[in-house]
Amino acid sequence: MMHNEKIVFFDIDGTLLDHNKQIPSSTRESLKALTEKGVHVAIATGRAPFMFADLREDLGIDTFISFNGQYVKHQEKVVLTNPLSRDEITVLEEEAKRNGHPMVFLDHEAMMSNHDEHPHIMKSMDDLKMHYPGYDPSYYHSRDIYQALLFCESKEENEYRDAYGNLNFIRWHDYSMDVIPPGGSKARGIEAMIDHLGFKRENTYAFGDALNDIEMLKFAGTGIAMGNGYDEVKAVADIVTDPVDQNGIQKGLKKVGLL
């Protein structure tokens, strides 16, 4: 049954969190005020669930879209999963190994690498302020993997793009690319979530700043781009608010009449 409750989806980095990875106090107050008004609050991120468990606990949020839509959960119920094809990542890993390119495999609980100390993994993780992954080369053999990381430089990436048309490669670092299933997006995750909850699309709101937020802002009833966001993101948004560290979330929620 469809009902008129409202739900707001927030990206994490550059949206809920500022550049120092802190939550502005005005954002905290705003999320509390939304909940008190009966508006549902959810997270939509490219991160793996274990990478923002502390944040969910801190903010009391139990509805989320992770891995850019590959793993979607409301309270204790998994609403949608879209894992990588095991056959395809097996073939990809074999080729990457021949080329001396390590990989990291992520499911909803952990990330494991097939190389125990590679400088490209080290540098990429340091830049994310994250620890080196655990070492377990067979991790993906028996688990659903929602995202892999392939470590190579941009001059080496085209051979993978050309050979693996059924995988999406997204470069996020000089040394690393995300590998995700085709067709996955935050928008697809939101669609699955509101179908599950019985919410109307016009009662959905989404805040984001980065290129992986574009589909989400287009899909939501009202898409709000952060002032610190990319121009391409602002171009598709219904509203542009101030930057994250200038009370952008609070101002955006006021602009759309939720506060």
Q: Active site includes 136?
A: no
Nearest to 148 by CA among 120, 176, 175, 129: 176
For 236, phi then psi, to 5°, come to -95, -5
* Cβ–Cβ < 8 Å for 85, 168: no
Q: Give the Cβ contact number of residue 99 at 10 Å.
A: 11
147-151, strands of its sheet edge to edge: 134-135, 111-113, 103-106, 147-151, 176-180, 168-173
- Where residue 160 falls (left for φ over 0; alpha for ψ -120 to 50; beta otherwise) is alpha
For 69, phi then psi, to 5°, come to 100, 0
* Residue of 11, 209, 213, 245 marked active site: 11
* Cβ–Cβ < 8 Å for 144, 81: yes
In angstroms, the CA 150 to CA 105 distance is 9
Nearest to 81 by CA among 73, 70, 90: 70
DSSP H or E segment with residue 151: strand 147-151
Helix (H, G, I), strand (E, B) or coil at 52: coil
User: What six digits make up the tokens of 70?
Assistant: 């590959």
Active site residues: 11
